Amino acid sequence: MNAVAARSLDDRLNPILVKEVRQALRGRYFRALFWLTLGVATLVGLSIVANSVRSPGAQVLGREFFMVMFGCLSAAVHAFTPFSAFLSTSAEWDENTHDLLVLSNLRPRQIVYGKLCSALVQALLYYSTFGPFLVFAFLLNGVDLAALGAILFVSMASCASLTLLGVALASLSAAKAPRVVLMALFGIGLVMFWGMSLGMSSGVVYSPQMLREPEALVMLAGTVVSILLAGAFFAAIAVARLSHEEENRSSGLRVLSVAIVISALAFGAWMSWGHSAPDFAWGLQVAALFPLAVAWLFFLTEPEPLGRHVRLHVSRNPLLAALSAPFLPGGGRGALLMLLHMLLAAFGALACMAFGPVDPVRRSAAFFGLLGVYAYAWIYMGIPAGAASFFVRSLRGRVVTRMGIVFLLPVVMLGPLLVGLVLGISGLSDPLHPFNPATALGALMDSREMTKLVELALAALTLLSLALNAPRMIQGVREVLAASAERRAKPVERS
Amino acid sequence: MALLDVRGITKRFGALKAVDGVTFQVSPGQICGFIGPNGAGKTTTMRVCSTLELPDEGDVLIDGLSVLGEPREARKRIGFMPDSYGAYANTTIHEYLDFFARAYGLQGAARRTTLARVIEFTSLGDLTEKYIDALSKGMKQRLCLAKTLLHDPPVMILDEPAAGLDPRARVELRELVKALAQLGKAILVSSHILTELSEMCSSVVVIERGQLKGGGTVADVVRSVNRATTLFLRALAGAEACERRLLETPHVLNVRREHEGVVFEFDGDLNAQAELFAQLAASGLQPVELALRDTNLEDIFLSLTEGKLQ
């Protein structure tokens, strides 16, 4: 590469990437963990090879050797690297550099992208360091090429996604105390993920024939797509959090949440029509509920009024303004978006299953079962958020509402069970009691109907939730239309 | 046209009104001192001006661009130096400035030229390979100022830039700020060291409990605080003769001897002041010095504020 090209490339590099890599490579954290990981891998690897005289064959030795090496590599790329991204983002608050970044020309997504790239560069150093060990394991027949490729592919995607989760978590709060709690939870989560990754990898290594089954590639693709979608979701959260007050923090995340539902539908349709597996259509929608629930928690509890800056950017066209309402910030508009998600998921799944080899009864059960699962979301999130919207105005109130919602579900799910166990009431000691969303999920999976009473209660409570949220949903659309009218009334501003 | 035009901004934090309808302007080449007791709303106002906080009411125009409507464009014209500046670990001065130059979108030769210019202006040339962690407070302030200058902003907002600096570093910083004003930049600077501000500011804005207590050129503010102008007279006839004569003159108040002359206050308008000068010249006192006394920002500050915190 000539000097001009090198300079041109240098200019195009993300500034955060340049800074972070410089800092990381000079910092004690990376150097210490790098040499520690490498040292442990070398020692354990050597001890396995030294004991190989007692091993029944090269393949067993190779598998053991691979699992040890991958264990060390996985610790580095699935724990140390994402944790380093968390610390780096956290340091922007602690070192008062967050404001300086905001004031520069860097956009929040460039900051997040720079942090991700920097983590990937560090991960790449680990991959290249462990490369010869993994090749050695392959030469010992410990792992076949397909398994090695699949494991490394999923591992890289997971590293990116976990890094984005770390950045998102560290960006959630400028205050140190909540970040310390998040750091501890993230650390525990990473250790758990490390264990899970080892378990899954050993499954692939010890049963490589599973990769030769026709569904394996689809499952692998589905896993990677899900991991990357989760990563995109975390990135959207981080971008929203790193955006400043005057910027619209909500719309990007709202658009992504709809993209998650549509992606799940597209994959479900593909599985239903192309692979005769119609249950994917609703199964993926249920899986999508987990990230969506996190998003709803924030959407439903946002302050109702449109910010002054956002008002300036509402479409002048009243139709476009009305259509954009669910994607604009505000709790009422968040409830509108949740309604849109529910309709899209239920009717979309129904459409996906319509062309697959499934009988109408099963289709109908899946449709109502999915609505049932959504009904729980309306009850546990919509009712408290809707009720709080009548009197909560402060940030503290909104935080309390969010915490209340987070704790409500486990309390309601486990409460009757505990009471039943303690008081010996057999009717309550069944974990699948009507308060538990798993009841609807179970009915959905087994194609059985819930009792009429439960159905009625669910319907009534969902209607109550919708009724509580209806005034703010209507007001939310009205406000957008009013902002659109204001913009039409004013002369065109300088762009 | 004012480069920094603050128009009735109000900022609330819950029930607290941190800034309440504050309005002022800073023109090109002007250094405006922003003074007020702790908790008066200075930093909040500066953060609103820098687009870091959104005003609940009102607006701020930076070179004609609204911080509400066009915050990204407005930011390109602002150089904000916060009171708690940020520094990265394991980073040298050159790397730090290079990072922010990249972050401001400077590329290639333009970036290298800008870095050299800013480093020379702030006299950091001998320290470029030094780690930031090892710098003194004064050098860190210089570095922060250098970072603020990278994108050559027409409006500079400096929050307590002299806090914690030794006298030499303060003088050096003051000279840098004056040099920037001479380049036509509009500078808003807050400080607790009022003598420091009085030596460099051409105008002041006084704020207390979020409300504007006074503003304008230093002379205007002095006049609004105390309608009387303080003058010093020295004449060959001696201090006593001067004192006697002045006590008989209309609009003259509080005459007192000081050194070889007298200090007195004059509450007449400009016409009366011109008439006074003519009378003194014709009086036989043989005046050799008649001068306006240096304005004292501490007096203005104490007169305008009540020392109440919110």
Give the pLDDT confidence of A207-265 residue by residue, as tens digits: 877 777 777 777 788 788 888 888 988 998 898 888 876 677 888 889 989 998 998 88
Provide mean pLDDT across the span A399-419. Answer: 84
Average pLDDT rounded to a whole number, residues B192-205? 80
Residue carrying structure tokens 């000068």: B277
**What is the rounded average pLDDT of the residues B93-111?**
91
Which pairs from A281-284 meet CB under 8 Å and 24+ separation?
A281/A348, A281/A349, A281/A352, A281/A353, A281/A356, A281/A366, A282/A349, A282/A353, A282/A366, A282/A369, A282/A370, A282/A444
Please state, in angstroms and as integers, the Cα–Cα distance from residue B201 to each residue in A37, A476, B144, B175, B182, following that order: 58, 48, 21, 12, 12
Which chain B residues contact residue A309 at CB under 8 A?
Answer: 54, 68-69, 71
Pick the range with the lowest mean pLDDT from A364-378, B138-152, B169-183, B291-305: B291-305
Contact A105 B71 (CB under 8 A): no
- pLDDT, mean of residues B294-298: 63
pLDDT value of residue B302? 67
| Pairing mode, strands B229-235 and B287-292 | antiparallel
> Would you say residue B89 has pLDDT above 70?
yes
Alpha carbon of A198: minimum distance to chain B alpha carbons (Å): 34
Show Cβ contacts of residue A491 under 8 Å, excluding neighbours closer than 6 positions. Answer: none
Q: Mean pLDDT throughout A349-362? A: 76
B293: Cα separation from own chain's centroid: 20
CA A115-A117-A120 angle, to 5 degrees, is 110
Please give the single-letter amino acid code of residue A113. Y
- CA–CA separation, B193 and B175 (whole Å): 15
A298-312: average pLDDT: 87
Average pLDDT over chain B, rounded to whole? Answer: 85
B134 and chain A in contact, CB less than 8 A: no
Residues A29-40 pLDDT 10s: 888 888 988 888
Confidence label for A473 from pLDDT (cuts 50, 70 and 90) = very high
For residue A495, the model assigns a pLDDT of: 41
Q: Are B242 and B261 in contact (CB under 8 A)?
A: yes
- Average pLDDT for A419-444: 71
- Cβ atoms of B60 and B44 within 8 Å: the answer is no
Chain A residues whose CB is inside 8 A of the B90 CB are 22-23, 26-27
Residue A131 has pLDDT above 60, yes or no: yes
CB-nearest to B68 from A106, A312, A394 is A312
Confidence band for A172, pLDDT divided at 50, 70 and 90: confident
Predicted pLDDT of residue A408: 86
CB-based contact, B104 to chain A, within 8 Å: yes
The answer to whether residue A444 scores a pLDDT higher than 70 is no
Q: Looking at the partner chain, which of A92, A95, A246 has a beta carbon nearest the beta carbon of B71?
A: A246
Query: Considering only CA atoms, which of B250, B249, B259, B247 is closest in space to residue B291?
Result: B259
Question: Does residue A342 or residue B271 have the better pLDDT?
Answer: A342
Of B52, B69, B100, the CB nearest to A102: B52
Tokens of residue A146, six digits = 């397909």
Identify the CA nearest to B242 among candidates B199, B280, B295: B280
Kindly state whether A87 is in contact with chain B, defined as any CB-CB distance less than 8 angstroms: no
* Partners of B26 in the β-ladder: B4
Of A96, A104, A309, the CB nearest to B85: A96
pLDDT exceeds 60 at position B295: no
Are A27 and B75 within 8 A, CB to CB? no
Q: Report the pLDDT averaged over residues A119-133.
A: 91
Inform me whether the pLDDT recorded for A471 exceeds 80. Answer: yes
The confidence score (pLDDT) of residue A212 equals 75
Percent of chain B with pLDDT over 90: 28
- Condensed to tens digits (0 to 9), the pLDDT of residues A182-207 reads 999 999 999 999 999 999 888 888 88
Confidence of residue A428 (pLDDT cuts 50, 70, 90): low
Q: Which of A8, A245, A493 sits opposite B53 (nearest CB)?
A: A245
User: Rounded mean pLDDT of A11-38?
Assistant: 87
Decide if pLDDT at A449 tops 50: yes
In this model, does residue B30 exceed pLDDT 90?
Answer: yes
Q: Which of A99-103, A250-254, A372-376, B58-62 has the highest mean pLDDT?
A: B58-62
CB distance A104–B53 less than 8 Å? Answer: no
Q: Nearest CA of chain A to the CA of B171: how many Å?
A: 26
> Could you report how far apart the first and last alpha carbons of chain A are, in Å?
41
- How many CA atoms are closer than 13 Å to the CA of A222, on its beta-carbon side? 19
Beta-carbon contacts of residue A494 (< 8 Å; ≥ 6 apart):
B70
Residue B249, chain A, CB below 8 Å: the answer is no
Which of B44, B56, B92, B100 is most worth mutating to test chain A (most A CB atoms within 10 A of its CB)?
Answer: B100
Q: Name which of A10, A104, A492 to mutate to probe chain B: the one with the most chain B Cβ atoms within 10 A of its Cβ.
A: A104
Q: Do B54 and A23 touch (CB under 8 A)?
A: no
Which residues in chain B have their CB less than 8 angstroms from residue A105's CB? 75-76, 103-105, 151
The answer to whether A128 contacts chain B (CB < 8 Å) is no
Partner residue opposite A99 with nearest CB, options B14, B52, B89 = B52
Nearest chain B alpha carbon to A96: B86
User: Per the CB < 8 Å rule, is B107 touching A11?
Assistant: yes
Q: Where residue A170 falls among pLDDT bands split at 50, 70, 90?
A: very high
> What's the pLDDT band for A89 if we cut at 50, 70, 90?
very high
**Of B67, B86, B103, Cβ closest to residue A96:** B86
A99 and chain B: CB distance < 8 Å anywhere? yes
User: Which amino acid makes up residue B293?
Assistant: R
Preferred mutation among B63, B78, B90 to probe A, highest tally of A CBs within 10 A = B90
d(CA B189, CA B81): 9
Contacting residues of A for B53, CB less than 8 Å apart: 245
A/B interface, count of CB pairs below 8 Å: 92
Lowest pLDDT segment from A4-18, A375-389, A435-449, B136-150: A435-449
pLDDT score, position B5: 94
CA distance B128 to chain A (A): 16
State both tokens at A278: 């119609």
DSSP H or E run through A25: helix A15-26
Mean pLDDT along residues A89-104: 88
- In chain B, the residue whose alpha carbon lies closest to the alpha carbon of A309 is B68
Interface of A with B in 392-411 (CB under 8 A): 394-395
pLDDT at B185: 93
Best A7, A17, A90, A100 residue to mutate vs chain B (most B CBs within 10 Å): A100
Residue by residue, DSSP assigns B142-165 as HHHHHHHHTT--SEEEEESTTTT-
